[in-house]
Structure 1
Amino acid sequence: MQFRDLKRQYYILKEDIDQAIQNVLTTGNYISGIQVIELEKQLAKYVGVKHCITCANGTDALSLALMAWNIGGGDAVFVPDFTFFASGESVAHRGAAPIFVDVNADSFNMSPDSLEKAIIKVLDEKKLNPKVIVAVDLFGQPADYPEIRRIAKKYHLLVLEDGAQGFGGKIGKQRACSFGDISTTSFFPAKPLGCYGDGGAVFTDNDEWASLMRSYRIHGKGADKYDNVRIGINSRLDTLQAAVLQIKLQAFEKYELEAVNDAAERYSQNLKDVVKIPQIKEGFYSSWAQYSILLSNENIRKDLQVYLKEKGIPTMIYYSKPMSQQTAFEGMDTVKIELSVTEQLCRQVLSLPLSPYIQQGEQDKVICCIKKFFETRPCEYI
């Protein structure tokens, strides 16, 4: 059993993907081919924004946004404590201070209450200038943007949506990657929409920022690639990856989102009385990058993970350590607040196999094994 079955996806899409790759190989336009331009238009239309700028990976996408806003030393950027390292790393790489914010236990996303407390503390200490909120759409569900944007407006902050795991999610009819002043996503293979290597994209309705990010991603180019008007980076999505993504985007829109939501619902209906299942807020729609359950404590999680592995069932822990406790951030001049929910989640969370291509028999095996594990364990495991 695969944790996220990319092999089965390729088998189903093989004919179209192989042809798309062959077209690139035949024309020889490996960098900045027409497929990249077409994909950017398709992604912008799907998300519902004016500009999409593709780049080399999701981390670069975050960096490009921060570069466009000239974020740097002395600036405070608010980041959820329960997320992948890149959300805070890109902030620190710009010389700014990542201020870690707690999350809600039910959604795994940034807590608006914790965010506002962190902003007030930064303002009170007067060491840093609050500039940006990085809101992460963790595990596929958009963050609470109605509340986050209310807070951002109150304190005059920019919102950067980290939609690396959220592409395809929605609040009402509005799609993920359109909630930020700038929004980003990742096309890492295991993401909801993934390529066959690294890739990323930035989304915005702002013409000036879009122009800056197009320049920054190609060495700060001006009129052409040999006219360099600013210091930039080398961060292009190659044509092969764009060609693959064009095919995958069609499947993603046509049936994959519905299929993965059906699979998540099957887990929820069968496991809701056994473990704590993920909760989707009313009016929200998840693209289910992960299906993450919560166990009572770290020892039970470890025992269950070992038991499932013995049965041929892969699992993953996202995430075992809070961002604020990562060695790389030690000694940084930052502002600290209570992060108890994140600390607890890191001891409880366990992600189960899930993809649009998971078969019902595979899910039945996962569900059966989890139920059997708890049936044969002492009551303190429940």
Structure 2
Amino acid sequence: MQLTFRPADHLDEAFRARWNARIADKELSLDLGFLGLLADADPDVAYHFVQATDPAGQVRALACCSVAEMRVMRFVPLRVLVLGGTVAAGKAFWFDAEAVDFAAFLAGFEAYVKTAIRCDILVLKEFSPESDAGPMRSISDAGFIAHMCYDRSRLALPADGDMQDFLDSLPSKKRRNLRQVMAQGEAAGLKVEVHRNFDHLVDTAYALYLAVNARATEARTPALPYRLFAALGRLDAARMLTISQGERTVGFGLLLHQRAKLKCLVIGMDYEVSRELQLWYQVVARSIEYAARNGCTSVDLGSTNHGMKRKFGAQHEDIWIAVRHRSRWLTRLLAPLIRHTLASTYRPAGKAAPATPDGR
């Protein structure tokens, strides 16, 4: 079946209803409010929403992409289109699998981009070999270069449970270690707070975030803009969990909370304090505690450090992206450079070894 893609108005109620039901309900960072903040925070990035209809006029697909300029080797400017944008996670697209397959969706989307959006490089995300074997074959057939970029970590919490129920669900060694970390923080007088309004904390939190981003090894990506941190305070779903030592904020987690889902966006911390008090574990443990206390059954712990997140019982998922120049022959010519750039930017630790029976 041939699909016809057209621009979509993300303020249109019918489009919003489809987007929320098909896409945003599965990934909190694809909420239209969050995507709007991303667009406002970086005026150099343009966001495009599209929908596709079949010959009978039925809506069969939705998608969002961003377009921005980047420089290769500091000199060559290229316009890069990213399905879903560079910040939001998950699949920023949907197609009616009962009527069309991914190959038809991709062909229609590429045809639309060719005539309607000026770009040089196309980046498709996100895909998992465990659930997207068919789409990944279609991506390869279309000449894209695929690369594993993240280790996504997710945690399921007991329904109607609390932090104690969560800890009780862990193997004995994991349970003992996390209790020791939390007790260490309590003994040191660390204060944990969750803020819905956090404008007054943005300057401090952003400095802590930059310290962590500068040391990142698995995903060497540009820091999120300050304007996004400042704008997130306007989003109903946004929360900031802070950990303070005395009057000083020494760690934080930026969270999205909607319905029974919690997503950990970024973490920041004072490394000097963390050497003694394990602030990374403190932030993650207290974020899980907040989720359990507020009826969440699903926690997205983010896309790096899965080896550490295994200690919380998190499940692992490989996340891949795919890159291609608009010209297939140029893709073949540039393939070594594309692979080198992807490998130097994304260095996931890889799938962690399964836990032993005693929880190690």
State whether TM-score is above 0.5: no
Higher helix share: 1
Q: TM-score when scaled to structure 1? A: 0.26
Q: TM-score, normalised by structure 2?
A: 0.27
Higher strand fraction: Structure 1 or Structure 2? 2
